[in-house]
Amino acid sequence: TGDSITVAPALTLTDKEYQIMRNASIAVLREIGVDTGGSNVQFAVNPRDGRLIIIEMSPRLPRSSALASKATGFPIAK
């Protein structure tokens, strides 16, 4: 959307938070039937209680995926 910041790798998430987001992303993708290709799942985290909310899911790669791929060395899209 152009109004967000990507930090890769994530610097402030604990491993537990990261795994919760990863598992939630996989569950959402499976539920809607996306089993191949790249997707983008965006989260919001309430800083007071840590409650996680999925705010958007797109079955496509965002423009920022190229930056994330460069930063991590992981080939997100081929």
pLDDT digits (tens, 9 = 90+) for 38-72: 778 888 888 899 898 999 888 776 677 777 778 88
* pTM of the predicted protein model: 0.64
Quote the Cα angle for 31-33-3, to 5°.
80
Please give the pLDDT value at position 57.
86
Measured distance CA(50)–CA(72) in Å, rounded? 26
The answer to whether residue 1 scores a pLDDT higher than 50 is no
Counting every residue written for the chain, the total comes to: 78
Which comes out higher in pLDDT, residue 37 or 46? Answer: 46
Domain boundaries, the chain: 15-71
The answer to whether residue 14 scores a pLDDT higher than 80 is yes
Which DSSP symbol is given to 63?
Answer: T
Strand, helix or coil for residue 47: coil
Contact 52, 20 (CB under 8 A): yes
Please give the pLDDT value at position 40.
81
